[in-house]
Amino acid sequence: KAVVNLDNSVVDLETLQALYENRAQSDELEKIEKHSKASKEKENAKSLDKPEQFLYELSLIPNFSERVFCILFQSTFSESICSIRRKLELLQKLCEVCCVLRKGIMQVLGLVLAFGNYMNGGNRTRGQADGFGLDILPKLKDVKSSDNSRSLLSYIVSYYLRNFDEDAGKEQCIFPLPDPQDLFQASQMKFEDFQKDLRKMKKDLRACETEAAKVYQLSLEEHLQPFKDSMEQF
C-alpha cells in the first residue's frame, strides 16, 4: 500500500532504494515461482526460505520495479539539476567578476611576467618571455629572497599595493582577484562531466517515461492513482 500510494512516511526513499536494488531479477523470480508452484502440488514439500518468500511477496506489488524506478528518479531529479545549475552559476559569476576586475587582474599578472623576466634576464631560454603558464602561480610563494625573509609572492603583492592600488589601506579597497575558494571550485569543473551527467539524466528521464507508461497500461484502475497524477505532473 505504501508503494502504491506513494507514502514515504511508511517506506522512506532510502529503504525503497534498498528494496529496488535487492529485488528479484526475472530469472530468480522464475525459479522462486516455479518452486512455489511445485511445493503446492506436493505434500511435505520444502517451503520457501524467508529471503525468497520476501522477494516473492515484493513481486506481487503491482508493477513494483517500474513504480519504484520512477519514484526514485523523481526524488533525485531536482537535486541533480540544482547541483549542475549551482556549478554553472558559479562559473558564470567568476567570468563576470573577472570582466569587472579585468584591469586589476591584468596588472597582477603583468607584474608576475615582469619580475619573472627580470629574474631570468641572463637566461636565453627563459628570459624576456612573452607569457607564462598558469601552473607557475602556486610556485611564487616558494621563490625566496637571498636572506629568505620574504617570498616573490609577498613582494608582488606589496609592489601592487604601493604602485597600482590607489585605495590601498582604505575601506573602499577591493581584492583585485576573484574569491580564491570560488576559483578553486571552478578549477575542478569539467564540461565533459556536465555533459555526462546531463546525458545520464536525459536517458533516465526517457526510461522514467517508458516505465510510467507500463504502469498506466498494466495496472488495475484502482492502483493507478496517485501514481499517474504525480508522474504526469512531474
Q: What is the pLDDT of residue 211?
A: 95
DSSP 7: -
Give yes or no for a contact between 112 and 105, defined as CB atoms under 8 angstroms apart.
no
* Residue ranges of domains in the chain, CATH in brackets: 62-233 (1.20.58.2220)
Rg (CA), the chain: 32
Cα dihedral sign, 111-112-113-116:
positive
Q: What is the pLDDT of residue 150?
A: 93
Helical H segments across the chain, by residue range: 13-21, 26-41, 50-59, 64-100, 102-119, 152-163, 180-187, 191-218, 227-233
pLDDT in tens, 120-177: 887 777 778 888 888 898 899 999 998 999 999 999 999 998 998 888 888 888 777 7
* Regions of the chain where pLDDT drops below 50: none
Q: What is the pLDDT of residue 103?
A: 84
Q: What is the pLDDT of residue 47?
A: 77
Q: What is the pLDDT of residue 178?
A: 80
Q: What is the pLDDT of residue 44?
A: 65
